[in-house]
Amino acid sequence: MATERHYSPLDRLLLQADTAMRTLLPFSGQPSRPSPAIIQPDVTLDETQTRHVAGLMRINHTGEVCAQALYQGQALTAKLPQVRKAMEHAAEEEIDHLAWCEQRIRQLGSHPSVLNPLFYGMSFGIGALAGLVSDKVSLGFVAATEHQVCKHLDEHLEQIPAEDEKSRAILEQMRIDEEQHAESALDAGGFRFPAPVKFGMSLMAKVMTKSTYRI
């Protein structure tokens, strides 16, 4: 019977470095599912629409970079093996979102945010800190973060031009997945954060969205 491999602290750090590189380097993430945009028709957007949609998708791409870093940081410091596995599994699913957003950004003639390395480092640190506090807090942070992401996706879906079915299909599938991640984290025993904490997280999210929309 196969036995589970146990990694040393150094092994885990090297794996984290590899994940960071695959997250931040262009076209490094390999999705397990095809992009929902593939089956949607191509349309021509005007210059203003194209620039705006590219900005929105850039925000979502950076959000997925942050999600990768958050999950990896939490997995590094999680105390219970099952929680660590849950974090790693969630990170794998988020790779799909990361790749889909990047593909769409490139199709729109734009590029991911140059600030991604900064936000990756910040999110990794926050995730690791949450894991050090407790697994319950770590799971609660996942749920609160994913609920915040869902709100952003809802806002973006309202702004996407009706004819841009490619971008819309990506965001709609992301919305479904993110809601599932949030509920799974709470079902696993995640702490429900109070309103003041959620408000602080919302302010941090606004800093990210404002800065990455253009750069």
Classify residue 82 as exposed, middle or buried by CB count within 10 Å of its CB (0-12, 13-18, 19+): exposed
Stretch 44-52: mean pLDDT: 95
Total Cβ atoms within 10 A of residue 56: 25
pLDDT recorded at residue 5: 56
pLDDT recorded at residue 174: 94
Residue 146 contacts by C-beta under 8 Å, 6 or more apart in sequence? 178, 179, 181, 182, 185
Amino acid identity for residue 106 in this structure:
R
Q: Does the pLDDT value for residue 2 go beyond 50? A: no
Distance from chain centroid for Cα 49: 24
pLDDT recorded at residue 3: 46
Q: How far apart are CA 71 and CA 88, in angstroms?
A: 7
Of the two residues 4 and 145, the one the predictor is more confident about is: 145
Stretch 21-45: mean pLDDT: 83
**Whats the size of the chain, residue-wise?**
215
Of the two residues 197 and 41, the one the predictor is more confident about is: 41
Which residue ranges are tagged as binding site for Fe cation? 64, 94, 97, 146, 178, 181
Q: Does the pLDDT value for residue 1 go beyond 60? A: no
Residue 210 contacts by C-beta under 8 Å, 6 or more apart in sequence? none
| Residue among 161, 146, 50 nearest 90 (CA) | 146
Q: 3: which 2 tokens?
A: 């036995």
pLDDT recorded at residue 141: 83
Q: How far apart are CA 142 and CA 64, in angstroms?
A: 13
Which residue ranges are tagged as binding site? 64, 94, 97, 146, 178, 181
Instruction: For each of the domains in the chain, give its residue range(s) and CATH number, in order of start.
Output: 45-211 (1.20.1260.10)
